[in-house]
Structure 1
Amino acid sequence: MKILFYANGNSENHGCEAITRSSLQMLCKKNDHIVITTQKMEAEYKYGTSKLGSYMAYPYMRQVSIPGKVVNKLTGILLKKSFFSGKYRYDRLIKQLDNIDVGISIGGDNYCYSDQDWLIRHNRIIRARGIKTVLWGCSLSEEVLEAKAIQDDMRGFSLIMARESITYAALMKHGITRNTKLYPDPAFTLRSIQLELSEGFIENETIGINMSPLVQMLEHGRGVIYNNYHKLVQYILEHTAYQVALIPHVVWKSSNDLEPLKRLYREFSATGRVVLVGDHNCMELKGYISRCRMFIGARTHATIAAYSTCVPTLVLGYSVKSRGIAKDIFGTYENYVLPVQALRREDDLIKAFIWLSEHEDEIRKHLEQCMPAYISQAWGAVDEIRELVGE
Structure 2
Amino acid sequence: MNRPIKVLLAGVGSLNNYGCEAIVRGTAAMFQDEWPECTLIVATKTPADDAVRFRDCGNVQFVQEGLRFTPKRLWKGFLRRIGIGAGVPVRMNSLLYRDKQIFLSCGGDNFCEAPDGSLYNILQDLMMLGSNAAEAGLLYSLWGASVGPFSKKDTERKIAEHLQAAQLLCLRERIAFDYVSSLPLDNNHILQVADPAYYMEVQPTAAIPRQPGEQLIGVNISPLACSPADFTAFNTLLAQHKNIRLLCIPHVISTQGDAQDDVSFMESFRAQSPYASRIDILPAGLGATATKGYIAQCDLLIAARMHACVAGCSAGTPTLFLTYSSKGVGMAEYVYGHRKWVLSTRNLTGQDLVAKTESMLSEIAALHAYLKANNTRFKSDAIRALHHLKQTYTGKKQPVAMPALSHVH
- TM-score normalised per structure 2: 0.79
Q: Choose which of 353, 362, 370 in structure 2 pairs with 1:366.
A: 370
- Secondary structure of residue in 1 paired with 2:376: helix
Structure 1's 119 and 259: CA in aligned 2 closer, same or farther, altered over 3 A? same
Match 2:216 to one of 194, 200, 206: 206
How far did residue 33 of structure 1 move? Answer: 2.5
Match of 2:301 in 1: 295
- Residues matched between the structures, number: 362
Select which of 287, 291, 306 maps to 1:281.
Answer: 287
Find 1:157's aligned residue among 163, 166, 170. Answer: 166
* CA displacement at 1:303 relative to structure 2: 0.8
Residue 120 (1) aligns with residue 124 (2) = no
Query: 2:250·2:263 contact (CA, 8 Å) conserved in 1?
Result: yes
* Aligned ranges 1:222-241 → 2 under 5 Å: 223-232=228-237, 234-235=238-239, 238-241=240-243
Aligned to 1:213, what secondary structure does the other structure show? Answer: coil
Alignment counterpart, residue 7 of structure 1, candidates 11, 14, 20: 11
Structure 1 residue corresponding to 2:322, chosen from 300, 316, 319: 316
Aligned equivalent of 1:248: 250
Quote the residue 1:73 is aligned against.
Answer: none
Instruction: Please name the residue that 1:72 is paired with.
Output: none
2:22: which partner in 1? 18
Name the SS for the 2:243 alignment partner.
Answer: coil
Spell out, residue by residue over 1:79-122, the C-alpha distance to the aligned partner (whole angstroms, 9 max, x if none). xxxxxx9xx966x552x433311100124221124223222222
Q: Which amino acid aligns with 1:100?
A: K
Match of 2:288, as an amino acid? C
Q: Does the Cα contact within 8 Å between 1:35 and 1:56 map onto a contact in 2?
A: yes
Q: Distance in 1 between matches of 2:220 and 2:211?
A: 15
In structure 2, what is the equivalent of residue 132 of structure 1? Answer: 139
Q: 2:331 aligns with which of 325, 331, 340?
A: 325
CA distance in 2, matches of 1:30, 1:385: 14
Further displaced range: 249-258 or 374-383: 374-383
Matched, 1:197 2:201: no
Partner SS for 2:197: helix
SS in 1 for 2:224: helix
Q: What SS class does the counterpart of residue 290 from structure 2 fall into?
A: helix
Residues 1:305 and 1:60: Cα distance change in structure 2 (over 3 Å): farther
The answer to which of 28-37 and 15-24 deviates more is: 28-37
Instruction: State the distance in 2 between where 1:372 and 1:323 align.
Output: 22
Change (3 A) 1:260 1:153: same
Cα deviation, residue 278, structure 1: 1.1
Give CA deviations for 1:302-351 in whole Å, capped at 9, x if unaligned. 11111112211111111222111111222211x311122243x4433223
* Number of the residue aligned with 2:117: none
| Rounded Cα–Cα distance in structure 2 between residues aligned with 1:150 and 1:62 | 29
CA separation in 2, counterparts of 1:269 and 1:192? 33
Structure 2 partner of 1:36: 42
CA-CA distance at 1:60 after TM superposition: 7.0
Amino acid at match of 1:323: V
Give, as a single letter, the amino acid of the residue that structure 1 aligns with 2:189.
Answer: N
Query: Does the C-alpha gap of structure 1 residues 269 and 258 become closer, same or farther in structure 2, counting only changes over 3 Å?
Result: farther
The one of 351, 354, 364 equivalent to 2:355 is 351
* Secondary structure of residue in 2 paired with 1:8: strand
Moved more, 54-63 or 190-199: 54-63
Distance 1:117 1:62, change over 3 A: farther
SS in 2 for 1:16: helix
Deviation at 1:19?
A: 0.2
Contact kept? 2:235, 2:275, Cα under 8 Å? no
Alpha-carbon distance change, 204 to 129 in structure 1, aligned in 2, over 3 angstroms? farther
Structure 2 portions without partners, runs of 5+: 77-87, 115-119, 396-409
Q: Which has the higher helix share?
A: 1
Contact (CA 8 Å) 1:145, 1:170: kept in 2 or not?
no
1:322 is aligned with what amino acid? G
Contact 2:214 2:245 in 1 (8 A): no
Task: Calculate the aligned-residue CA RMSD, in Å.
Answer: 3.0
Deviations 1:203-227 (A, max 9, x none): 99411111111113xx5xxx32232
Where does residue 79 of structure 1 map in the other structure?
none
Give the partner amino acid of 2:249.
Answer: I
Deviations 1:19-38 (A, max 9, x none): 00110110244442332100
2:198 is paired with a residue whose SS is: helix
Residues 1:97 and 2:116 aligned together: no
Q: Is the 8 A contact 2:213 2:243 kept in 1?
A: no
Q: Does 1:65 align with 2:91?
A: no
**Residue aligning to 2:198:** 188
Task: Check the 8 A contact 1:215/1:298 in 2, yes or no.
Answer: yes
After superposition, the Cα gap between the structure-2 partners of 1:47 and 1:262, relative to the gap in structure 1 and judged at 3 Å, is: farther
Q: Determine whether 1:341 maps to 2:328.
A: no
Contact 2:44 2:62 (C-alpha < 8 Å) held by counterparts: yes
SS of the residue corresponding to residue 197 of structure 1 reads: coil
Question: CA 1:120–1:242 in structure 2 vs 1: closer, same or farther (change >3 Å)?
Answer: same
Equivalent-residue separation in structure 2 for 1:366 and 1:196 (angstroms): 25
Report how far residue 140 of structure 1 moved. 1.6
Change (3 A) 1:194 1:41: same
Structure 1 residues 205 and 231, CA gap change in structure 2 (3 angstroms):
closer
Partner SS for 2:108:
coil
Measured at CA, do residues 60 and 113 of structure 1 come closer, stay the same or move farther in structure 2, by a change above 3 Å?
A: farther
1:174 paired to 2:183 = yes
